[in-house]
């Protein structure tokens, strides 16, 4: 699917580490290299939307104005994933006829089910990624993954989705028809009438009518899930796809990275790079060197300011040292050339200017 050199980057990491801002900054960087880039986000906090100066990112790609930062052929698009709409689009695509499609949309069980499935955001991100990748419209696709406690959850999304379908009542009802084809399906329709009658007595007619209608209309769609889960997996295994792990230097970061790295290897996915965000950046001066600098500063800005600056530096020094140690341990784990650091900026990164500043570190 990515023969034309289309690159896919999946930006993963724990909650709040900076995935959304990193995705957008990385997108900007790629656009400034002349590429046509799209950033897919499903961040419910809509932070990327604010960062890009858009009131509301829609489910269709929106072009971002980067003309103040860059003049050239590259383009940056962003899209907010609306999980319910993604699901509706799937129905649109896979329903066997317009009539079947309309029946699904107006079905109360579908409405309930689609909301339930929409809750599996990670899976929907995969579905949307698949759709956009297949369109071959962009040179670079960057997927910002949903907030979650553990980055590994994202990798398990297709499997989780399949488990949910396999273990649900829907699957039990549909399974024989899927394997028997059309004639089997007719059998089910007839067979279910008996079951439905029993259920009717308990649950009321409308519910069961809705259920049987939905089962009939929904079979094409569910049959497609398994195939697509496999195709998404192939897409992620492609040599032009890579994972970007965003992290901070927090206490459990190294363990998380190790687990994530191992999971990627097990699944034959590639770890492109590790981005260490909000790093206390600075030089580590020896006491002797600091003394020299202090003297120099006193001459330049006066004793009072020089003393404050040196005191401040001494407070930050342990943090800088601690971050360096952590970064070194990341480098030892995944190799030095894969690790990039982004400093902790003063204030939020909340506009294209901020993203540009961040992109310079990438
Ligand atoms: N290097 C940085 N310096 C200062 N602020 C930063 C930096 N990186 C990110 N931020 C800020 O931290 C906040 C969280 O960032 P972001 O929304 O990108 O995290 P996230 O990993 O996407 O969160 P979630 O898991 O909730 O989706 C934002 O307000 C962002 O502006
Ligand atoms: Mg986010």
Atom of ligand 1 nearest to the CA of 348: 31
Look at the pTM and tell me if it is higher than 0.85: no
Q: Are residues 301 and 352 in the same domain?
A: no
User: For the chain, what percent of residues have pLDDT higher than 90?
Assistant: 40
More confident residue, 158 or 329: 329
Q: What's the average model confidence in pLDDT over 16-24?
A: 90
pLDDT at 77: 92
* 211 pLDDT tier (thresholds 50, 70, 90): low
Residue 13 lies in a domain: yes
Given this model, what pLDDT does residue 84 score?
Answer: 66
Q: What is the tally of structural domains in the chain?
A: 2
Atom 5 of ligand 1: nearest residue by CA position? 348
* Per-residue pLDDT reduced to its tens digit, 33-68: 999 999 988 654 556 676 666 666 567 788 988 999
Q: Is 158 in the pocket of ligand 1 (CB under 6 A)?
A: no
List, as own/partner pairs, every contact residues 165-170 make where C-beta atoms lie below 8 angstroms and the sequence separation is at least 24, other chains included.
165/222, 165/225, 165/226, 170/113, 170/215, 170/218, 170/222
201 found inside a domain: no
Q: Are residues 102 and 121 in the same domain?
A: yes
Q: Does 293 share its domain with 158?
A: no
In short, whether 128's Cβ falls inside 6 Å of ligand 1 is no
The C-alpha atoms of residue 127 and residue 131 are separated, in whole angstroms, by: 6
74 shares a domain with 36: yes
Residue 137, in any domain of the structure: yes
Residue 95 has pLDDT above 90, yes or no: no
**Cβ of residue 21 lying under 6 Å from some atom of ligand 1:** yes
Q: Indicate whether 271 and 300 sit together in one domain.
A: no
Domain check: are 231 and 311 in the same one?
A: no
109: which residues sit within 8 A by CB, 6+ positions away? 207, 210, 211, 214
Confirm whether 231 is domain-assigned.
Answer: yes
Residues 6+ apart with CB under 8 A from 357: 345, 349
> By residue range, what is the domain housing residue 295?
287-319
Are 11 and 145 within one domain?
A: yes
Which of 10, 14, 20 for mutating ligand 1's site (highest number of atoms within 8 Å of CB)? Answer: 20
Name the closest ligand to CA 341.
1
**Ligand 1 neighbour 285 (Cβ under 6 A):** no
Q: Which is the closest atom of ligand 1 to the Cα of 354? A: 31
212-263: pLDDT as tens digits: 666 655 666 666 666 777 788 888 888 899 999 999 999 899 999 999 999 8
Contact 165, 222 (CB under 8 A): yes
Q: Going by CA atoms, what residue is nearest to atom 9 of ligand 1? A: 18
Q: Which atom of ligand 1 is nearest to the CA of 346?
A: 4
Give residue 281's pLDDT. 85
At 3 the pLDDT is: 44
Dump pLDDT digits (tens) for 156-208: 666 666 666 565 555 555 544 444 444 444 444 444 555 555 555 555 555 55
pLDDT at 168: 57
Ligand 1 within 6 A of CB of 19: yes
User: What is the β-pairing status of strands 75-80 and 62-63?
Assistant: antiparallel
How many angstroms does the Cα of residue 42 sit away from the middle of ligand 2?
A: 8
């Amino acid at each position: 699917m990515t023969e034309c050199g289309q690159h896919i980057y999946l930006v993963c990491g724990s909650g709040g580490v900076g995935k959304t801002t990193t995705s957008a900054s990385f997108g900007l960087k790629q656009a400034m290299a002349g590429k046509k880039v799209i950033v897919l986000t499903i961040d419910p906090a809509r932070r990327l939307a604010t960062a890009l100066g858009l009131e509301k990112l829609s489910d269709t790609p929106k072009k971002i104005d980067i003309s103040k930062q860059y003049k050239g052929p590259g383009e940056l698009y962003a899209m907010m994933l609306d999980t319910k709409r993604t699901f509706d689009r799937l129905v649109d695509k896979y329903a066997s006829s317009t009539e079947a499609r309309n029946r699904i949309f107006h079905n109360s069980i579908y409405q309930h089910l689609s909301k339930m499935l929409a809750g599996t955001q990670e899976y929907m991100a995969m579905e949307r990624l698949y759709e956009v990748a297949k369109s071959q419209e962009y040179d670079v696709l960057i997927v910002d993954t949903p907030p979650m406690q553990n980055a590994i959850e994202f990798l398990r999304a297709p499997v989780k989705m399949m488990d949910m379908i396999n273990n649900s009542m829907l699957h039990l009802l549909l399974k024989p028809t899927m394997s028997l084809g059309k004639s089997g399906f007719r059998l089910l329709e007839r067979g279910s009438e008996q079951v439905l009658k029993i259920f009717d007595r308990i649950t009321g007619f409308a519910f069961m009518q809705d259920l049987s209608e939905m089962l009939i209309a929904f079979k094409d769609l569910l049959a497609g899930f398994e195939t697509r889960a496999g195709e998404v997996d192939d897409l992620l295994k492609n040599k032009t796809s890579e994972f970007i792990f965003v992290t901070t230097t927090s206490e459990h970061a190294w363990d998380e990275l190790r687990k994530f790295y191992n999971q990627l290897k097990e699944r034959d996915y590639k770890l492109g790079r590790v981005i260490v965000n909000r790093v206390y950046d600075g030089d580590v001066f020896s006491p002797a060197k600091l003394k020299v600098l202090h003297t120099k500063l006193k001459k330049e800005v006066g004793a009072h300011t020089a003393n404050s600056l040196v005191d401040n530096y001494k407070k930050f020094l342990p943090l800088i040292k601690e971050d360096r140690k952590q970064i070194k341990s990341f480098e030892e784990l995944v190799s030095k050339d894969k690790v990039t650091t982004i400093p902790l900026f003063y204030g939020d990164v909340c506009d294209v200017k901020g993203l540009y500043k961040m992109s310079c570190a990438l």
